[in-house]
Amino acid sequence: MTTDSSLRADIVEVGRRMYARGYTASNDGNISVRLGAERLLMTPKGVCKGFMTPDMLCITDLEGRKLEGQRDPSSEMLMHLEVYRQRPDVQAVVHAHPPTATGFAVAGIPLDRAVLAEVVTTLGSVPIAAYATPSTRELPLAVRQYVKAHDGMLLANHGALTVGTDVFSAYYKMETIEHFAKISLVARLLGREHLISREEVDRLQQLRGSYGIQAPAPICPDPTVPAGGSPAPAGDPASCQVLQAPPGDGRRLVADLIDRRAGAGAPDGGAEIRLTYRELSALIEDAIRTLK
Ligand SMILES: [Zn+2]
């Protein structure tokens, strides 16, 4: 299979998954990938993404001029072009209207609270780009504010946008956003949403390097912590990921025990150690005794 036909098959598959999961209805949503340095492969306008065939896709240049294909490119092509312009590292763009995440976008509530460790580590925060009329030049301008520092964002009163190093990574981020939105909604309905502490957010951010996660920007420094005698500036969503996380009380029972066992020989407190089941049980029993 050539690169071209392989990428066409990937886009068709992602379109099916988005439609099957209810992220798009009718002809909503669009998907594109880079096809070499000068061209893009893109879903066409006016087609249900759940029933595409590879021959329906079209090829454009980076200015949006159609080079190949029976159909015209996506009505949201301008938004895709803007992402590729701003992010040379991005190879694929996915846009959909997943209902729960879009509900947050309609309510004007960004997904920017430190609630789930996986989301902090991968996406960071998910801001809301200002409302813009779909398919016009307004939408790329709204997206531009956030796309340099974020791989996923909500679009006010519209939907969500994700980017990635290939079409599946962009699609999985769309899954993560919708999943995160569902969990956040349930927690808020239950009346409690405990946030992860700022210290833990810092630790999770360090894990990005360990797991080889290529986040486009760091999480913004805590504006409440003075840096060099003066408060750190408020986070700029154009250059870092603004995340709500309260200061912690400094108590970390298990991690403190691990640090003590690692001892002075360990080059840093975050070094990996291995415990047998018996050692782990002893640590837990020790902790329970301390709590009594
Ligand atoms: Zn849309």
Q: What confidence score (pLDDT) does residue 263 get?
A: 47
Convert 214-227 to b/e letters by CB count within 10 Å (16 or more is b). Answer: ebbbebbbbeeeee
Give 73 Cα–ligand 1 centroid separation in angstroms: 14
Beta-carbon contacts of 278 under 8 Å, excluding residues fewer than 6 positions away, are: none
Give 159 Cα–ligand 1 centroid separation in angstroms: 6
Q: What confidence score (pLDDT) does residue 266 get?
A: 46
Give 134 Cα–ligand 1 centroid separation in angstroms: 7
CA distance 101 to 37: 32
Give 71 Cα–ligand 1 centroid separation in angstroms: 19
Give 162 Cα–ligand 1 centroid separation in angstroms: 12
Q: What confidence score (pLDDT) does residue 183 get?
A: 98
H-helix or E-strand spanning residue 191: none
Cβ distance 164 to 147 under 8 Å? no
* Lookup: tokens for 13: 């598959």
Q: What is the pLDDT of residues 47-74, one digit of tens each?
A: 999 999 999 999 999 999 999 999 999 9
Q: What confidence score (pLDDT) does residue 285 get?
A: 78
Give 43 Cα–ligand 1 centroid separation in angstroms: 13
Give 155 Cα–ligand 1 centroid separation in angstroms: 9
* Lookup: tokens for 22: 């209810």
Give 29 Cα–ligand 1 centroid separation in angstroms: 5
| 32 C-beta neighbours (distance < 10 Å), count | 29
Nearest C-alpha neighbor of 185 from the set 125, 247, 101: 101
Give 26 Cα–ligand 1 centroid separation in angstroms: 11
Q: What confidence score (pLDDT) does residue 264 get?
A: 46
CA distance 101 to 182: 8
Give 133 Cα–ligand 1 centroid separation in angstroms: 10
Q: What is the pLDDT of residues 125-145, one digit of tens each?
A: 999 999 999 889 999 999 999
pLDDT tens for the 292 residues of the chain, in order: 557 999 999 999 999 999 999 999 999 999 999 999 999 999 999 999 999 999 999 999 999 999 999 999 999 999 999 999 999 999 999 999 999 999 999 999 999 999 999 999 999 999 999 999 988 999 999 999 999 999 999 999 999 999 999 999 999 999 999 999 999 999 999 999 999 999 999 999 998 988 888 899 999 987 766 555 555 566 788 899 999 999 887 766 565 554 544 444 444 555 566 777 777 777 787 777 766 6
* Lookup: tokens for 58: 């079209």
Beta-carbon contacts of 281 under 8 Å, excluding residues fewer than 6 positions away, are: none
Give 190 Cα–ligand 1 centroid separation in angstroms: 30
Cβ distance 30 to 74 under 8 Å? yes
